[in-house]
Structure formats: C-alpha cells, structure tokens
A and B are shown apart, each in its own frame.
Chain A
C-alpha cells in the first residue's frame, strides 16, 4: 500500500518570504502522480501543483514549485513571495497511474503567513 508522510504539522512564514513544505511517500509502483492541495477555511480542496513521476523536470506554477527527488521518494513544495492568502492547510497526495485510481493524502500541514 502507498503511504504519504508529512512530518511538519505547522509552519509559519513572513509575508514575501519563501517557505518549503516537506513530503515523503512510499510506493513500489513506477507509474504514479504526486499533488499538492490547498485547503482554506472554505474546506474545498484546491489543486496547487502536480508532478508526473516519469518527468524529471520539476513542476512550476507561478510562485509554487516542487523539488521532486524520485530516488529519495521526496516531494517538497516551495512557495515564493508568500502572500496572506497562502495561509491554509496543505496536503501532499499520491495517485497510481491508470484510470480511477484513488488519492492517498498525508496528514497535512498548517501554514500561517505573518504580515
């Protein structure tokens, strides 16, 4: 079974600074996908960024980027130029390749942004 581990329950960052959220995962599959989701107080899960395991290049979406270390099974999220609206819970998630595979989530990390 696949597992996703987020060992930092909380982190804090100063507005405009950079913060990195850590995630490790365990799988024996070769075809899989990794995601970071944001859950604000509205409770809706919002996709921040995704990474295909077969791609060596790290994914980037505006201020959000990942450091994907496949051999180490590590998938960290870097948020640059942090904004007050970035404050939320962030979840790392794993999905096997193929249709209809489920998402496996980590426990999440609460990110606060100091003005």
Chain B
C-alpha cells in the first residue's frame, strides 16, 4: 500500500519564476494538506483540499495556490518566487472525517536562487 508520494524531491528555481509541486495521497485518503518547513523550523500550514476545494488556508499570500484532482492528488503552485520561499514543502494526506491518521510524504526541497 503506497504512502504519500511527492515529486520532485529536489528543485532549484530562480527568483521570480513559478513552481508546481505534486502530491499523491495514501490509498483511501481523500484530503490533502500542504505545509512549508523552513530550515530549522517546524512545518507551517499552507492550505488543505477536500472534494477539490480549498477548505482551510494558513497565513500565506495569494502567490501560493493549489488544486486537487478527482483522483485526490494535489498540486501546490507558487508564483513570483522569493528567496524566502526556499523550504521543504510537505504534503500530508488523511481521511476527512478522521481525527488521526495523517500520513506525510518525504517532501520537496525547493531552493530559490
């Protein structure tokens, strides 16, 4: 049973560019959440998708947007990249009605130069 799969694992982008990160949830999960983890910090909640809609959003600018597809996979898009967007981006999947059972992927390391 596959866990959460994120791609790519590493990415280097230039300031001002746009990036798309991808996440495939664990089989049976219908909800995807995205977190940004800066170096030496804890993960910060970006947003959550369920039924192809953004359900919750953290304190991130509109440059951060997302999408969920009918097969529950998700994308995170970041426009107009800043140096401060360099971080590990973690995807976590879960079943909407469950309190527990978050499964995290291994993340995408984004470096903005």
Contact = CB atoms under 8 A, between A and B. Distances in A.
B110 to A, nearest CB: 13
Interface of B: 31, 33, 35, 40-45, 48, 50, 55-56, 58, 88, 90, 92, 96-100, 102, 104-107, 109
Contact of A108 (B42, B45, B56, B109): B42
Nearest to A105: B42
Contact of A100 (B55, B100, B104, B105): B55
Contacts, number: 60
A96 to B, nearest CB: 10
Given A45-B92, A102-B56, A106-B42, A33 B106 contact: no
A87 B99 CA distance: 28
Nearest to A33: B99
A104 B102 CA distance: 13
Contacts of B33: 102-103
Contacts of A107: 40-42
B102 A103 contact: yes
Contacts of B88: 43
Point out which of B42, B55, B102 has the most chain A C-beta atoms below 10 A from its C-beta: B42
Contacts of A106: 42
Given A45-B92, A95-B99, A97-B99, A104 B45 contact: yes
Contact of A99 (B45, B58, B97, B102): B97
A87 to B, nearest CB: 16
18 contacts: A6-B42, A33-B99, A42-B106, A43-B90, A44-B104, A91-B43, A95-B99, A99-B99, A100-B56, A102-B33, A102-B45, A103-B33, A103-B35, A105-B35, A105-B42, A105-B44, A106-B42, A107-B41
